[in-house]
Amino acid sequence: MTNPGLERGFPNSLDMLHRKKMTTANEGKKLDWETVERLDWHLWILATLLIFVLGVSLLSFMFPTTFWMQQEPARDRSQQAFFGFCVLLALVLVYLLQRQAMVRQLKRQLFDARTAAAAAEQEAASQTFFALPGLDQFRDVLAMEYRRASTSNAPLAAALFAAPRESPQALGNMARFLQCILRHGESLYRISDNAVAAILPGMRLSEAASLAAQVESLSGLSKETLEVSITAYPEESASLAKLQERLRAPVV
């Protein structure tokens, strides 16, 4: 028998999930602008201070030779060089401060853009979860698919994925993953504020268990928080009521 996971294109889904996990991990790190700015400011102060100290040290070595130990014609040229170096040092320090201010502004814009993108991604995931068809549609489609399966003696499976302690954003990410791997004719529903259910026509219990195992390992939710219930007609449930009962969803 062909592995249903391969039919569903899990390699592509794995790549997608890997990128999503990397993004989630990066987003999980607290974006603390004050800390980044403080460290960067310390570095700029250190660099500017070093340049200032080196410049002043060089000027202090030049000062006695320029003003005390030179004859008049040579002293004029040395003084011009001395004052020119003072002006150059001042211009360099001013330039560094201006560049630092511009770089700080650009980094702030990048930080704000990254924060906005992360917030938009979380909002999109939440909207994906809440945009799923609801409990009434789930009941109607489950009853319709059960009648179709019982008439044609075809298998029918259903899977419930509940995560009571997870946020709507996490559930939305799981829903996105499920939408990527469901085949034509299979459908996904939001049956409560912390659970989704999939109706899987033509799928046997073993195949549904394989799908559930893939979701448990690849959805991005920990096994401690994700509760999975699967059932199938006619292997486990001989009636529609039994099918709903075995999903163990109190709202069904």
pLDDT of residue 137: 92
The phi and psi torsions of 157 (rounded to 5 degrees) equal -125, 155
With respect to residue 4, please indicate whether it lies within any of the assigned structural domains: no
- CATH code, domain carrying 192: 3.30.70.270
The predicted pLDDT at position 24 comes to 46
Instruction: Kindly report the backbone phi and psi dihedral angles of residue 91, in degrees, each rounded to the nearest multiple of 5, phi listed first.
Output: -65, -40
* pLDDT band per the 50, 70, 90 thresholds, residue 84: confident
Is the domain of 89 the same as that of 137? Answer: no
- 10-47 tens-digit pLDDT: 445 444 444 444 444 444 444 466 677 777 777 778 88
Rounded distance between C-alpha atoms, residue 126 and residue 190, angstroms: 12
Answer with the residue of higher pLDDT: 247 or 226. Answer: 226
Instruction: Give domain status of residue 102, yes or no.
Output: yes
> Does 85 share its domain with 157?
no
**Residue 147: which region, alpha, beta or left (left: phi > 0; alpha: psi -120 to 50)?**
alpha
- Are 148 and 204 in a shared domain? yes
Rounded to 10°, the helix 205-218/10-28 angle is 30
Number of domains in the chain: 2
Is residue 188 within 8 A of residue 147, CB to CB? The reply is no
Determine the pLDDT at residue 251: 41
What strands, in cross-sheet order, belong to the sheet with 227-233?
187-192, 195-201, 156-162, 227-233
Give the structural domain span for 153.
132-246
Contact (CB, 8 A) for 15 and 211: no
Taking the whole predicted model, whether its pTM rises above 0.75 is answered as no
Residue 13 CA to residue 7 CA, distance in Å, equals 12
**pLDDT at residue 30, as a whole number:** 47
- Contact predicate 16/173, CB 8 Å: no
Task: Pick 68 or 150 by higher pLDDT.
Answer: 150
pLDDT digits (tens, 9 = 90+) for 116-142: 888 888 888 889 899 999 989 999 999
For residue 102, what pLDDT band results from cuts at 50, 70 and 90? confident
Q: Is it the case that residue 200 has pLDDT exceeding 90?
A: yes
Is residue 70 assigned to a domain?
A: yes
DSSP 206-251: HHHHHHHHHHHHHSSS-TTT-EEEEEEETTT-SSHHHHHHHTT-TT
Q: Which residues of 119-136 are buried (b: 16+ CB within 10 A; e: fewer)?
A: eebbeebbebbeebeebe
CA 27 from chain center: how many Å?
5
